[in-house]
Chains A and B, each alone.
Chain A
Amino acid sequence: MATAALTVSGVNALYGDSHVLHDVSFTLGSGRVLALLGRNGAGKTTCMSAIVGFLPPRDGEVKLFGEPITRLSPEAISRRGIGFVPQGRRVFASLTVRENLDVARQSRAGTAVPWTLKRVCELFPRLQERLHQHAGSLSGGEQQMLAIARALMGNPRVLLMDEPSEGLAPLIVAEVGRTIARLKAAGQSIVLVEQNLKLALDLADDVVMLNTGRVVFAGGVAEVRDSEALLTQHLGVF
Chain B
Amino acid sequence: MQFWVIQTLNSLALGGLLFLLAAGFSLIFGLMRIANLTHGAFYMLGAYIGVSILKVIPNLWLAALLGGLAVALLGGLFERFILRKLAGNELGQVLVTLGLAYIIADLCLVVWGGDPIPLPTPEALESPIEVGGFMFPAYRLVVVAVALATGIALYLLMERTRLGAMIRAGVDDMQMARAVGIPVSRLFTIVFCLGSALAGAGGILGGPIMSAYPGLDADMLPLALIVVILGGVGSLIGAFVGSFIIGFVYTFGIALFPQLAYVILFLPMIVVIAFRPRGLFGRATA
Interface residue ranges, A against B (CB under 8 Å): 52-54, 73-75, 77-79, 84, 86, 90, 92-95, 99-100, 102-104, 106, 150-151, 153-154
Contact = CB atoms under 8 A, between A and B. Distances in A.
Contacts of B176: 86, 90, 92
Interface residues of B, number: 20
Given A99-B165, A102-B162, A103-B165, A75 B181 contact: yes
B111 interface: no
Contact of B175 (A74, A94, A95): A74
B177 interface: yes
Interface in B157-172: 162, 165-166, 168-169, 171-172
User: 9 tightest CB-CB pairs across the interface, nearest first?
Assistant: A78-B181, A74-B178, A104-B180, A99-B165, A92-B172, A92-B169, A75-B178, A90-B176, A84-B179
Given A94-B283, A95-B165, A95-B168, A103 B182 contact: yes
Given A78-B178, A84-B180, A92-B168, 16 more contacts: A53-B178, A74-B175, A74-B178, A75-B182, A75-B184, A77-B179, A78-B179, A93-B172, A94-B168, A94-B172, A95-B168, A95-B172, A99-B169, A104-B181, A106-B181, A153-B180
A97 to B, nearest CB: 12
Interface string B110-131: 0000000000000000000000
B52 interface: no
A90 B172 CA distance: 9
Interface of B: 162, 165-166, 168-169, 171-173, 175-185, 283
Given A84-B179, A103-B166, A75 B185 contact: yes
Contact of B162 (A77, A90, A103): A103
A75 B182 CA distance: 6
B177 A92 contact: yes
Contacts of B173: 90, 92
Contact of B169 (A53, A74, A103): A103
Contacts of A52: 179
A73 B165 CA distance: 21
Contacts of A92: 168-169, 172-173, 176-177
14 contacts: A73-B178, A74-B175, A75-B178, A75-B184, A78-B179, A78-B181, A79-B181, A86-B176, A92-B168, A92-B176, A93-B172, A94-B172, A94-B283, A99-B165
Contacts of B283: 94
Contact of B165 (A74, A78, A86, A102): A102
B165 A150 contact: no
A53 B179 CA distance: 8
A104 B165 CA distance: 10
Among B165, B175, B179, chain A packs the most CB atoms within 10 A around the CB of B179
Among B165, B176, B177, chain A packs the most CB atoms within 10 A around the CB of B176
Contacts of B180: 78, 84, 103-104, 150-151, 153-154
B177 A154 contact: no
Contacts of B185: 73, 75
Contacts of A95: 165, 168-169, 172
Contacts of B183: 75
Contacts of A79: 181
Contacts of A73: 178, 185
A78 to B, nearest CB: 4
Nearest to A147: B176
B171 to A, nearest CB: 8
A80 to B, nearest CB: 9
Nearest to B180: A104
A102 B169 CA distance: 11
A106 B183 CA distance: 11
Nearest to A94: B172
Contacts of A100: 169
A150 B169 CA distance: 12
